[in-house]
Structure 1
Amino acid sequence: MYLSFLLIFCYYLPLLISACPIYLTISLDSKTLQDAYLEINWGPECHDHPEWIGIFSEDPSTTYFHPEARITNINNSSGKVLSNVKVGKLRFPHGWNSNDDNTVPIEYPKGKCLPYYVASFNGSELLTVECLKIQPNWMSKLEHIAQMPLKDLFIPGTHASGAYVNNLVKTKSVLVKDYVVAQQFDVWSQLVFGVRYLDFSIG
């Protein structure tokens, strides 16, 4: 599920003004989530192309770190590049992991960045910063949402929400590989990321 998870939609809003929005997603081209690679995305309508885009493990707007991955020659108005940076062991802030017992989690009204950042630059000039983030309680922070009709709501969701395959290499079915397996995240993790509409296709 590219944690574009219908999540890009809501969560990857540029923090700095730029004509070229950028964001991170997680690729499914791996056997496990830990082996999954981060994918750099830009656009739509990326007209003022940055010179380069990098992936960082810490926020580059506060302190400069060398990028873990770097791409150049960004010429299209939208696109994506699979990096060589692996997700590794993904941990949420304390209290938001499914095995964090007897802990009252901290609420994050504006979301909470995980240690995966993407930033665009012209030379050394920082243009845009975004991160892969959780937003576990975003609905409770929206005023008047209880009075809004469903037709006026945009609810981020995932399809085939509980689908997974332990070993994609052994899976010979094109149907399973290309259509059924939509994410490597369990339902709890999807909810923590902010998904609020779950589609379970039983097969």
Structure 2
Amino acid sequence: MLNLHTVLLLVIFQDGVNSNPDNSLHFVNTNYDEKHKDEISIEEEHIKEKQIDKSVKVRERRSATSCSETIQRSMSSPNLYVFLTVSSLGYVSWSGNVSKRNLELNWVLPSSRFAQSGDYIGLFKDDPQSYLGSPVVSVNPNSGSYFLTEEQFPDTSILMLDTELLDQCLFHYWIAYVREDRVLSVNCIKTRPRWMREMKDTLGSVPLHSLMIPGTHNSGSHMKLRGVADDTVWYRYSVNQEEDIWSQLLLGIRYLDLRVSYDSETQKFWLVHDFVPLNPLSGAIQAVKRFLRSTQELVIMDFHRFPAGFKHNTRQRHKELVEYIISELGEFMAPDWLGRTVSLNNLWNLNRTLIVSYENGWVESEYETIWPKVHHAWADTRDTPQLFQFLNRSMELRSEATYLWAAMSHLTPSALDVILNPSGGIRILNNRISRHLSTWYMNMWWDKANIVASDFILSNDIISSTIQGNRKREICRSQSLS
């Protein structure tokens, strides 16, 4: 039976992509098993975890389990909130014109009766708290909770000097809820290079498995949409992010899901989406190094799959990869003997805030700075209700987990998608769920999730949701100790 990778390969050849030498397939592996037969099911992991430690101590419990139902309900109730997102949709016309990165207005009202006559949601080019000028776009708050604008968010990489990594609103765009010339709520798309360190008193002593950590799915599968060459079936079903690794970290991402292949022709390691090479691993390594030298933030690099170039001479190839990682990042890598109850304070005390996890038992046992794999809760579905049901069940099953696990919050295309809908792709699938994700994690799963990994990170509000979720958990911990 044909899997997605085999079908995509066939379509790519028919599409003529392989005629471009820049897109040559140096390491095609159509036999790669997408399902990961050796992965443990959620239920089996849950049972195993219970057997390992039946008498879980207070410090090892997931923090939110002690939050009373009354407090949980009160903190899940909506407050006035506005935020900007960037649409993941992108198109290239026959004439070569590119439509992409349209700004989206999003708002949450405390109740259906909150809005008054004359209230509006506005998109501004100046901070409305300093100067309330005319909005670029204005929307009646009773018209729904979402509005797609024609304003395009710049797709340039975030340029910041390493000595000036500060929170700042990007590219002069703000959203605000305005009533009678008063700004009731305001927000922007901002950098958050030091948000964990700034929340040291809240996060420092909490085990990492009890924190809510924002991440990206297929973090290395990033590429800008800039023309016809970027809008092929090859890339429509391979690109998961638009922001590069440096930008992801500056925006607040702290978990990177990395898939690596080895290209024997170039003798280099590549970040890939299965068999599709997208970016050299060296670029991600240098971005992480630069970020860690400038901040004291946690970064989790999860080397999760090795689709090609590792089948023959397996141990030597893994050794080569790990020793390259250590040679570049060893000064930041935390030792795994810190154990599963490791906290940010432990990492800060050692001045080692990088955790490298690796999907290979031999590697994990051979190197003390390589951590066990991060467990992925992956629905493998293209259906939004099925994704919700799977993630909701995962939250319940892992509510007391004492290991790092990632809720893979994305839709997965099927082989039929490539055959029947070659003009579709991951951007369109992501657009189906991006607004749902913000709501799910803001109001429902803030007390249960650990790592949250999604596609096209600017298309949702996960980073803000995780920061707010950690603040809510602190209230729960304080309440349980009082």
Same fold (TM over 0.5): yes
Specify which of 173, 177, 186 is matched with residue 129 of structure 1: 186
Q: What displacement does 1:107 show?
A: 4.3
Q: Is the 8 A contact 2:124 2:173 kept in 1?
A: yes
- How many Å separate the matches in 2 of 1:19 and 1:146? 27
- Tell me the equivalent position of 1:49: 115
Paired residue secondary structure (2:200):
coil
Answer yes or no: is the 8 Å Cα contact 2:177–2:184 preserved in 1: yes
CA contact (8 A) 1:35 1:88 kept: no
Matching residue within 147, 157, 171 for 2:232: 171
In the alignment, which of 140, 148, 152 is matched to residue 72 of structure 1?
Answer: 140
* Letter of the 2:181 counterpart: S
Bigger share in helix: 2
Q: Confirm or deny: 8 A CA contact 1:34 1:88 kept in the other structure.
A: no
> How far apart are the structure 1 equivalents of 2:82 and 2:216?
21
46-55 vs 125-134, which moves further: 46-55
Partner of 2:245: 187
CA gap of 1:170–1:133, structure 2 versus 1, over 3 A, is closer
Q: Relative to structure 1, is the Cα distance of residues 181 and 157 closer, same or farther in structure 2, using a 3 angstrom cutoff?
A: same
Distance 1:142 1:52 in 2: 33
How does 1:1-203 map onto structure 2 within 5 Å? 19-30=79-90, 35-43=100-108, 45=110, 47=112, 48-49=114-115, 51-72=119-140, 74-76=142-144, 79-88=145-154, 90=156, 92=158, 94-95=160-161, 104-108=162-166, 111-114=167-170, 115-144=172-201, 145-164=203-222, 166=225, 170-172=231-233, 177=236, 180-201=238-259, 202-203=273-274
- Alpha carbon RMSD of aligned pairs, Å? 3.1
**Map of 2:424 onto structure 1:** none
Percent sequence identity over matched residues? 29
- Render the CA deviation track for 1:5-37: whole Å, top value 9, x for unaligned: xxxxxxxxxxxxx94211001112225999411
Q: Distance in 1 between matches of 2:99 and 2:243?
A: 11
Stretches of structure 1 lacking an aligned partner (at least 5 in a row) = 1-17, 96-103
Cα distance, 1:46–1:181 mapped onto 2, change above 3 Å: farther
TM-score, L = length of structure 1? 0.70
- Looking at CA atoms only, which structure, 1 or 2, has the larger radius of gyration? 2
Distance 1:46 1:182 in 2: 35
TM-score by length of 2: 0.32
Contact 2:157 2:247 in 1 (8 A): no
Could you tell me whether the CA contact under 8 Å between 2:121 and 2:141 is conserved in 1? Answer: no
- Higher mean alpha-carbon deviation, 162-171 vs 134-143, is at 162-171
The one-letter amino acid of 2:182's match is: E
Q: 1:139 to 1:73 in 2, by over 3 A?
A: closer
Moved over 6 A (4+): none
Q: What's 2:473 paired with?
A: none
